[in-house]
């Protein structure tokens, strides 16, 4: 049977977006949103929508207030362009974003909806705390706002926080106000062999901007620490890190920095920072035991992307083996989900596992989108 392709539309105003969603709701048609396309392969693909909305027509910077450290932009504005605007005031976006997604055209709305995060997450507020105000088109086409002047407030809910990481299942982000940050004058990088030093650096007085760990298949892990600030401060803190960690050396931003591990399947594993060295060691032992290459990359704060398999391996088998090992590890604090995979994998493995708070997520979904018309199947747990 030939699959029916969705109708593609490109609104150029929030009012036009509202009208399109309102009509789809009246007709009982499902709706999905397309931003820069940089996260299209993340999460299961969900059901094919009747209406696919291209947000590239809503790409304007509405306001840039350098003195207030605020920028307001429409959801289709590219993160790369917003960074350029912020730099005119010697500022940058407060949240850090993955470099590979920014390079691929990630948009403001898409970054918020997928809760995109880059390495510099240690001393900065998470994305859900950076969105100061948001305008959303709800499932029935109603325009709702949180922060600033309110068209319609959704009583009892913080829209900015709810929409962060919602994957378009609760509403369509139309615009947002985000916090900016003074741009650092200097940055420094230190490479440390292994992963054991990561926790100590996190808790030290050098105040790192990022502590990232990278491990290629069959190789030893490397910890890379980033510090930023005034030149003399960066130089001093870089020296402190080198003196405190045998084998450490000053370096440059690695080519893999802020970029996801490259493999047929990406599994996201989350643990407490105290368990990071143990997780890295477990992955090395697992790779030896099963014979599948596993690349590990992520933050010493405890969030890692595992690139699993190679072009000549069965991705479903490799994914199932790694997930089963991680989920039966005696460290109950670990959460493992499939982030990105070939189409065949999604139906053959339990990509989500146990999801803390899933019942509450379902309740909120039912309240915001009782007919299940917004991005069905794209949210956490298949919401």
pLDDT of the residue at 3: 55
pLDDT of the residue at 343: 87
Which domain-ending residue is among 131, 161, 182? 182
Which domain-ending residue is among 127, 148, 182? 182
Three-class SS string for 356-369? CCHHHHHHHHHHHC
pLDDT of the residue at 40: 86
Q: What is the CATH number of the domain that holds 291?
A: 3.30.70
What is the number of domains present in the chain? 3
Q: What is the pTM of this model?
A: 0.92
Tell me the two tokens of residue 168. 């378009």
What's the first-to-final CA gap in the chain, in angstroms?
A: 26
Tell me the two tokens of residue 20. 């399109």
- Is residue 170 domain-shared with residue 241, that is, in the same domain? no
What is the Rg, in whole angstroms, of the alpha carbon atoms belonging to the chain?
A: 21
The answer to whether residue 29 is domain-embedded is no
Can you give the residue range of the structural domain that contains 240? 184-257
Rounded CA gap, 192 and 196, in Å?
A: 9
pLDDT of the residue at 331: 67
- Is residue 239 domain-shared with residue 177, that is, in the same domain? no
186-193 and 249-251 strand pairing: antiparallel
Q: What is the CATH number of the domain that holds 234?
A: 3.30.70.3450
Tell me the two tokens of residue 27. 């007709």
pLDDT of the residue at 184: 93
Tell me the two tokens of residue 202. 């996190």
pLDDT of the residue at 150: 36
User: Can you say whether residue 213 is alpha, beta or left, with left for phi > 0 and alpha for psi between -120 and 50 degrees?
Assistant: beta
- Is residue 250 domain-shared with residue 279, that is, in the same domain? no
Which residues, including other chains, have CB under 8 Å from residue 209's CB and lie 6 or more apart? 119, 120, 122, 123, 124, 184, 187, 226, 227, 228
3-state secondary structure of 275: helix
- Is residue 294 domain-shared with residue 233, that is, in the same domain? no
- Is residue 132 domain-shared with residue 122, that is, in the same domain? yes
- Is residue 245 domain-shared with residue 332, that is, in the same domain? no
Nearest CA among 142, 214, 149 for reference residue 369: 142
Q: What is the CATH number of the domain that holds 118?
A: 3.30.465.10
Which domain-ending residue is among 257, 287, 305? 257
**10-residue averages of pLDDT along the chain (383 residues):** 74 97 97 91 89 97 94 97 96 92 96 94 84 95 75 60 94 96 95 96 94 96 97 97 96 94 91 94 93 94 92 87 90 87 90 91 95 95 90
The answer to whether residue 26 is domain-embedded is no
The answer to whether residue 377 is domain-embedded is no
- Is residue 174 domain-shared with residue 193, that is, in the same domain? no
51-54 and 7-9 strand pairing: parallel
């Amino acid at each position: 049977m030939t699959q029916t392709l969705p109708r593609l539309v490109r609104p150029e105003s929030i009012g036009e977006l509202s009208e399109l969603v309102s009509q789809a709701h009246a007709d009982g048609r499902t709706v999905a949103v397309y931003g820069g396309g940089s996260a299209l392969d993340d999460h299961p693909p969900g059901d094919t929508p009747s209406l696919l909305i291209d947000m590239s027509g809503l790409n304007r910077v509405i306001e840039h207030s350098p003195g207030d450290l605020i920028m307001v932009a429409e959801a289709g504005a590219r993160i790369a362009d917003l960074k350029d605007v912020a730099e005119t005031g010697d500022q940058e976006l407060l949240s850090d974003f993955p470099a590979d997604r920014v390079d691929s055209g990630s948009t403001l709305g898409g970054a918020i909806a997928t809760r995109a995060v880059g390495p510099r997450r240690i001393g900065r507020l998470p994305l859900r705390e950076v969105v100061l105000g948001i305008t959303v088109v709800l499932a029935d086409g109603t325009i709702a706002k949180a922060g600033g002047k309110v068209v319609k407030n959704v009583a009892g809910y913080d829209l900015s926080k709810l929409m962060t990481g919602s994957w378009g299942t609760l509403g369509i982000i139309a615009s947002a106000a985000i916090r900016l940050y003074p741009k650092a004058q200097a940055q420094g990088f230190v490479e440390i062999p292994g992963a054991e030093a990561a926790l100590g650096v996190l808790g030290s007085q050098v105040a790192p901007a990022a502590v990232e760990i990278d491990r290629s298949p069959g190789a030893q892990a490397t910890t890379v620490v980033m510090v930023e600030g005034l030149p003399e401060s960066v130089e001093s803190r870089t020296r402190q890190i080198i003196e405190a960690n045998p084998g450490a050396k000053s370096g440059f931003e690695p080519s893999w920095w802020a970029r996801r591990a490259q493999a047929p399947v990406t599994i996201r594993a989350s643990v407490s920072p105290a368990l990071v060295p143990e997780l890295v060691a477990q992955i090395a032992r697992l790779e030896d035991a099963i014979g599948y290459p596993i690349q590990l990359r992520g933050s010493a704060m405890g969030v890692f992307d595992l690139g699993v398999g190679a072009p000549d391996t069965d991705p479903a088998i490799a994914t199932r083996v790694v997930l089963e090992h991680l989920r039966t590890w005696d460290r109950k604090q670990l959460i493992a989900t499939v982030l990105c995979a070939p189409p065949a994998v999604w139906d053959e493995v339990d990509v989500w596992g146990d999801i803390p708070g899933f019942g509450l997520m379902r309740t909120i979904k039912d309240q915001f989108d009782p007919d299940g018309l917004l991005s069905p199947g794209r949210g956490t747990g298949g919401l």
